[in-house]
Structure 1
């Protein structure tokens, strides 16, 4: 009965993932030209991610590639019937080559490099230490990206709390803050802001969001401290103690030279955003030069440079680091394999949903900052937050404002741009699939014996702790 209830609740959650206004604006596929029923494979895959680990866990772990392939095929065949084989091939290849490929290589590079850095010492996972780690990781996210900070910090956090029994909440708040909110201050922090920078938003404009970030950090760290203190006291009362062999405070980092390779990856990401606007990387028509794949699909030279830099960083990291560091980090390939399989399915099957959003987004009547905040955030929780951000940034640029940030899409008021940016970056924390590192942190936590909640269970945490914070954000900053 409990599993049936979970299935029903999850189905309702996935159905509500796209606001009613989007479906209504689609007019059943006649108004937007995108049939709504093409989104069924995407919803089906989300249901599998949410429900299968609960009802058939072992089968799901061994058959994920088969299930993902099933939903991909179930999307591609009807899509080809509606749009033709050529359009389908272009859509899938564009998604795989210019979205998924750079996404998974970035994740792979950061996963490899961070796995070669280990933190040793006698710090125990107490509430104060954990608050400090979360605060550090959150601020670090804007320097090396949410994915980079998550992969760098997740293993030390897991290791310092390995002696504790009750620690699932630590990783949940880690996802809330380090994997999402912390990326709001620079274009390096999260891909949506990088896309804004490429369209004329000043590089350091995102620092305007610092008061919002600090405000949210204070609230969430206050709540986390008291939750963690309660769990910490229960662990202590049961006789659990941290394994600290020596008195004092010893602390050392091994594999520190890998910071060079992290910087190398960050440089690759920055270049991928800056180079397309340079004349040297454009042809006579103003298109980005690159390797032609099929039809209109081209792998741009900036993307190729980014990929080469990231793979070189990963290779050099492995070549220059003692494998004993990876052993101490319990390094395995399981997490990156699972993310690679699941997200290829998510990226491909969500294409009709993104097409629908792009078609109806400007007609939804969303013009106020608080509306932009919730609309961008709600859709970013389930869809890729980068195209969602671009849809609403484009919408804001067409509203005819004369005061604000001048972008290539039009002038956007600061308050409106802040709302779109915060919605895209913050609300990726609402689900495991809302942002790239969320599922990675979840998988690494599972591998290390941390009892993480299910897809729907995690959403219960985000609804309970994040949504009230977002409501306060709306009242304080976006009304």
Structure 2
């Protein structure tokens, strides 16, 4: 597959077309889009697959598509599915209503929780409680937007558990607790964004109150009871499965004589590694046990349906397939971009992580940094990387996944679940207006304060 290094840029057109469809079709043909998303995904996927097969051959095409579906998409969607199922069996009962103070306080807890159980785990666990406690409010879409900013993205920067790029760094020699060095950057950004959120939410809250809206409770924030709390055991199982999938490939028992990971051979060089199989089995077992041990009435109170996970599964298989040319071009030319300063790494990693999978993007720039010949810094299997540069790459990959709905796994899921529960979320471009207005200024400050 060496000839793929010369892959033409025009093969990226289907990826751009699919992103444009996701952005535009809900605005101009919402009913058609809701019913025919699989058709649109199939169209753009075929529009990539056929020219790719014509240029490189059927075998290479099959190998390329299977590689991304088996080793990227499958573990991605199984993880999302497992957490979606388990979190759907946890609900909050009682007199608990969203207000600026309560929302802000829970954002602090949720953001920090993301580094403990991952951004996906924290998002799936908290998205329904946030929607439920603010259900009485009319103006609430900004709450879920900041939810994506903080809980679904930034909060995952402190540990390899928090976000997949950091897990890949850990697998390549970055110390497990190294990313705690990003704590001061996270707190800095949280202070800025939560201050902005508080005043935006207070303004919206006062307008809702002035219109006579109020929660049907006597004392907001009291008499709270969490139902289905035992499901946290299954959340822990899923988190443990993710950690195992990152650690097992480095053990000799899971390696062939040539150092490759043992697994189930699919086609050519495509192999589903045994660590991934173990991860999938544990996650599916956790989801099964969660449903078997939780009463159906909990899911009914949560308004649990399969719509959100179905939409994400359909859209993201198309995204994973059609984005392959863009990732290949980036991998082949990343070292030639002339990016060798921390602030350049921050913006390059972040900008591409906003639209591509942030894990391979992180690895491209980590590899690039390791090959620059630095003699000091964090020692990895890819070479020594200066601390400030590694901080820039890590923050770019984790933070800027919040720039678009497709920048990180839980973003679109949170949007889907919000839409499904009556929260009018902005369109693809509408969301980007929020990220450009609220996040990009923060990232500029980050660059000036931490990465110059």
TM-score when scaled to structure 1? 0.93
Alpha-carbon shift at residue 349 of structure 1 (Å) = 0.1
Aligned partner of 2:310 in structure 1 is 337
- Count of residues in correspondence between the two structures: 450
- Partners of 1:31 and 1:326 in 2: CA distance: 47
Change (3 A) 1:246 1:176: closer
Aligned partner of 2:425 in structure 1 is 452
Counting only pairs closer than 5 Å after superposition, residues 204-283 of structure 1 correspond to structure 2 as 204-245=177-218, 249-283=222-256
Q: For 2:366, which of 393, 398, 401 is the aligned residue?
A: 393
- Partners of 2:445 and 2:216 in 1: CA distance: 40
Map Cα deviations across residues 206-244 of structure 1 (whole Å, 9 max, x no partner).
000000000000000000000000000000000001121
- Partners of 1:290 and 1:407 in 2: CA distance: 25
Q: For 1:415, which of 385, 388, 392 is the aligned residue?
A: 388
Alpha-carbon shift at residue 245 of structure 1 (Å) = 4.9
- Partners of 1:169 and 1:118 in 2: CA distance: 22
Change (3 A) 1:129 1:275: same
Alpha-carbon shift at residue 133 of structure 1 (Å) = 1.3
Aligned partner of 1:81 in structure 2 is 54
1:99 aligns with 2:72: yes
Aligned partner of 1:22 in structure 2 is none
Alpha-carbon shift at residue 247 of structure 1 (Å) = 7.7
Aligned partner of 2:12 in structure 1 is 39
| Equivalent residues of 2:241, 2:278 under 8 A apart | yes
Map Cα deviations across residues 348-371 of structure 1 (whole Å, 9 max, x no partner).
000000000011110000000000
Map Cα deviations across residues 421-467 of structure 1 (whole Å, 9 max, x no partner).
00000000000000010000000000111110000000000000000
Aligned partner of 2:125 in structure 1 is 152
- TM-align CA RMSD: 1.1
- Partners of 1:272 and 1:340 in 2: CA distance: 21
Alpha-carbon shift at residue 124 of structure 1 (Å) = 1.2
Alpha-carbon shift at residue 34 of structure 1 (Å) = 1.2
Aligned partner of 2:331 in structure 1 is 358
- Partners of 2:306 and 2:406 in 1: CA distance: 19
Aligned partner of 1:161 in structure 2 is 134
- Partners of 1:211 and 1:219 in 2: CA distance: 13
| Equivalent residues of 2:97, 2:220 under 8 A apart | no
1:311 aligns with 2:310: no
1:434 aligns with 2:407: yes
Q: For 1:69, which of 42, 60, 64 is the aligned residue?
A: 42
Alpha-carbon shift at residue 341 of structure 1 (Å) = 0.1
- Partners of 1:420 and 1:121 in 2: CA distance: 43
Alpha-carbon shift at residue 122 of structure 1 (Å) = 1.2
Counting only pairs closer than 5 Å after superposition, residues 175-214 of structure 1 correspond to structure 2 as 175-214=148-187
Moved over 3 A (4+): 245-248
Change (3 A) 1:247 1:450: closer
Is the partner of 1:215 in helix, strand or coil? helix
Map Cα deviations across residues 64-113 of structure 1 (whole Å, 9 max, x no partner).
00010000000001111111111111000000000000000000000000
Structure 2: stretches of 5+ with no match in the other structure: none
Aligned partner of 1:53 in structure 2 is 26
Q: In terms of mean alpha carbon deviation, does 177-186 or 240-249 score higher? A: 240-249
- Partners of 1:263 and 1:255 in 2: CA distance: 14
Aligned partner of 1:462 in structure 2 is 435
Structure 1: stretches of 5+ with no match in the other structure: 1-29
- Partners of 2:192 and 2:242 in 1: CA distance: 31
TM-score when scaled to structure 2? 0.98
Alpha-carbon shift at residue 345 of structure 1 (Å) = 0.1
Is the partner of 2:272 in helix, strand or coil? strand
